[in-house]
Amino acid sequence: MGEFKVHRVRFFDYMPTAIRAMAFNAHTERLALARMDGSVEIFNFTDHYFQEKVIPGKDSRSIESLCWVGGRLFSAGLNGEIAEYDLENLRPKYSMEAYGGPIWTIISNTQGTQLAIGCEDGTVKLFEVLEEHIQFERNLDRQKVWSVAFLSDHTVVSGDSAGKVQVWDGHTGTLVKTHLVTKWDVLALSGIEQVDMSEGMYFFDTTTVYDESSVVAGTSEGTVIQFQFIAPTLQQDKEWVRTRTFKNHTHDVRALAEIETAIVSGGMDTHLVVRPLLEKFDEMSHASGLRKIHFPHRNLVSCAKKAGLLLFQFPGQLELWRLGDSDGHGKPGDRLPLKRKPEKLLLLKRKGEDHICCSALSSCGGWLAYSTVSCVRIYRLQTDNNNISITKVSKLPKVLRSAHQLCFSLDSSKMFAASSQSSVLVIALTQSESWSHSVTFPSPGSRQPIHLMTTSVDGKWLAAANSDCEIHVYNLQKLKLHCIVPVYGSCPSAMGIHPTTNNLTMVHADQQLFEYSIVEKQYTDWSRKLQKQGLHNVWLDRDTPVTHVTFNQKNPNQVVLHDMHMFCIIDQSLPLPDQKTQFYNQITLRSLSEQERPSHLHAFKICKTFQDLLCVSLLDDQSLVVVERPLLAITSQLPAPVRQKKFAT
């Protein structure tokens, strides 16, 4: 693998916010998830649960419920407004006041022609869904209800603050069955986005559920409980029976979705849990395993490789840090003494209510940029010993209203902004804190947002990937589209351009790996050999996507990449592992003699020394930067869960 001096960084205090609402689109198999900061995330359940889109939050936005109507997404919240989202430009399309106070829930009818919302004043309001907007129709009578689910046979399932899940006959209004599931609150029922049990009105959207013989409840103890409409014995009639209890959360379960093969849950502990229903699978496989999604499938850390600086992105601010330094030496595994501690150089707070959606730091550390849905800001940074000055670039191009992704060229002469309709804006920067000119590359294909961009070291190439799995390569010298990489059916999760060969390395959400020659406009021989032989099953069975690709400039054969649990150095000069090869073989190699070792070497070198990774990158001085965010550190900052009685207490 080689020997590296490692900067082990744990001072990025990334803190995800609680999951508040979910809605599953059975037709597109997309899960929409809302958090307490008002952000919305879209996961593609057909593509290894990849987080393909993120709509940034806003200070004044509170989302209590989400609803799909075809491919359109709506939300409602405590500000009393209904919003529809622009899923191409990743922003609210419009919002309108419902005039009923805070809104607790929003659902649609099965035809997708009407929306119903439940308001704090007890009213249920109906809105007509039109082609470009929605229109108020009428109010229904005021109601008092707890959380309820209406099934198509007029069965009503309710949950309440006394810990009961009750089944009612909707025709007669009589109680059929009571299940006491907790001493605390029942906060969510499957197919519904729930809130506090003190007030509000909830409906059950049968379009999001495949089988009405199952209902799932979430509690403030962190449990998820499944009820099924089955016959307890062969001699008995069918009834609602409590069949399973899952404990995958430490705090309130606030949102649930029941899909064909799994139960999806989220809440105050911030992570998304996909719990497969094993009876839906013929045999145990990767797809039948429990999956937890903790971190975003995108980069929140920018690394200035020349300057040794790190930029951390938060919703409301950016932090610029200078890495520490050590001149000590030791054997592998030693902790070296610091002669200079890491230092926070800058805290830059955003302007306005809109949260930061992307940011970038130039390799030299001289430029910084960020974007919200309403503006892009670029700053010139100048460092003099321990002093740092920051100057805002004024009068940016009018076409640069917002960006989904930002990056700088290696020589810091240009900034690239992924704009609307999958287009890319190129801005030439000058040392006088201004821009000289701009060029726009329109997209020849999809209008879906760009989520990845990378440039070549020689400044000639720019590659951009969008959520329709398209990758466009632009020639920056001729200022035109150079080629489109053959479209592969899984979304790219990370990519990088090799500093000497200009080959584009791409890793996808399904863990497949490709190398494409930009100059020759075709896959490389190494890539074709890899695809012919196939990747090792241990590699393919990993459950978190690769989010960063970089290269070892001292060894052109080495590609460095990482996911949440490991980083990997792929040495293209070594043989590929076949299915019989021991994949994680580092310990074995260390135990072998120099004569035996070559026969056990293979291209994939995995390091799991570091965990819960947000970034792994190589600096120009060949030191490795590893940014960790231990999950225990996140858990320790959560509010205390409901007190639970433990054995012998």
**CATH number of the structural domain spanning residue 224:** 2.130.10.10
**Sheet of strand 424-430: strand arrangement:** 405-408, 414-418, 424-430, 434-441
- Whether 74 has a pLDDT exceeding 50, the answer reads yes
The span from the CA of 214 to the CA of 225, in Å, is 10
- Whether 103 has a pLDDT exceeding 60, the answer reads yes
- For tokens 């863990």, name the residue: 511
Domain presence at residue 202: no
Task: Please indicate, yes or no, whether residues 311 and 221 belong to a single structural domain of this protein.
Answer: no
Q: What's the chain's average pLDDT?
A: 88
- For tokens 């209904």, name the residue: 82
Domain presence at residue 505: yes
- Whether 200 has a pLDDT exceeding 90, the answer reads no
- For the stretch 178-190, pLDDT in tens is 999 888 888 888 7
Positive or negative torsion for Cα 558, 559, 562, 568 = negative
The span from the CA of 25 to the CA of 428, in Å, is 42
Q: Would you state the pLDDT for residue 398?
A: 86
Mean pLDDT lowest among 61-70, 247-256, 274-283? 274-283
Task: Please indicate, yes or no, whether residues 506 and 439 belong to a single structural domain of this protein.
Answer: yes
Task: Please indicate, yes or no, whether residues 222 and 306 belong to a single structural domain of this protein.
Answer: no
Q: H or E stretch including 361?
A: strand 358-361
Q: Would you state the pLDDT for residue 196?
A: 34
- For tokens 């902790």, name the residue: 335
Q: Would you state the pLDDT for residue 643?
A: 60
Are the C-beta atoms of 288 and 558 separated by less than 8 Å?
A: no
Domain presence at residue 589: yes
Structural domains counted in the chain: 2
Six-digit token pair at 490? 């899984």
Task: Please indicate, yes or no, whether residues 231 and 374 belong to a single structural domain of this protein.
Answer: no
- For tokens 């592969």, name the residue: 488
Q: Which among 269, 212, 270, 274 is positioned nearest to 246, based on CA atoms?
A: 274
Q: Would you state the pLDDT for residue 433?
A: 63
- For tokens 């990088």, name the residue: 496
The span from the CA of 418 to the CA of 422, in Å, is 7
Task: Please indicate, yes or no, whether residues 237 and 371 belong to a single structural domain of this protein.
Answer: no
DSSP per-residue codes, 532-569:
HH---HHHHT-SS---EEEE-TT-TTEEEEE-SS-EEE
- What confidence category does residue 646 fall into, taking pLDDT thresholds of 50, 70 and 90? low
The span from the CA of 417 to the CA of 405, in Å, is 6
Task: Please indicate, yes or no, whether residues 375 and 256 belong to a single structural domain of this protein.
Answer: no
Q: H or E stretch including 586?
A: helix 586-591
Domain presence at residue 271: yes
Percent of the chain clearing pLDDT 90 (strictly above): 61
Domain presence at residue 479: yes
Task: Please indicate, yes or no, whether residues 232 and 316 belong to a single structural domain of this protein.
Answer: no
- For the stretch 482-518, pLDDT in tens is 999 999 999 999 999 999 999 999 999 999 999 999 9
Domain presence at residue 647: no
The span from the CA of 336 to the CA of 350, in Å, is 36
Q: Would you state the pLDDT for residue 186?
A: 86
What residues form DSSP beta bridges with 87?
none
Task: Please indicate, yes or no, whether residues 310 and 446 belong to a single structural domain of this protein.
Answer: yes
Task: Please indicate, yes or no, whether residues 426 and 503 belong to a single structural domain of this protein.
Answer: yes
Domain presence at residue 10: no
Mean pLDDT lowest among 311-325, 328-342, 349-363, 448-462? 328-342
Q: Would you state the pLDDT for residue 649?
A: 46
Task: Please indicate, yes or no, whether residues 372 and 241 belong to a single structural domain of this protein.
Answer: no
Task: Please indicate, yes or no, whether residues 192 and 312 belong to a single structural domain of this protein.
Answer: no
In single-letter form, the type of residue at position 143 comes to Q
Q: Which among 121, 117, 177, 113 is positioned nearest to 144, based on CA atoms?
A: 121
Domain presence at residue 336: no
In single-letter form, the type of residue at position 593 comes to S
Are the C-beta atoms of 24 and 31 separated by less than 8 Å?
A: yes
In single-letter form, the type of residue at position 361 comes to L
Task: Please indicate, yes or no, whether residues 271 and 369 belong to a single structural domain of this protein.
Answer: no
Note down the domain range covering 39. Answer: 19-196+211-278+287-293
The length of the chain, given as a count of residues: 649
Pairing of strands 6-9, 624-628: parallel
In single-letter form, the type of residue at position 242 comes to R
How far does CA 422 lie from the centroid of its chain?
Answer: 19
- What confidence category does residue 208 fall into, taking pLDDT thresholds of 50, 70 and 90? very low
Nearby residues of 574 by Cβ (< 8 Å), 6 or more positions away: 601, 602, 603
How far does CA 177 lie from the centroid of its chain?
Answer: 40
Phi and psi at residue 615, to the nearest 5°: -160, 140
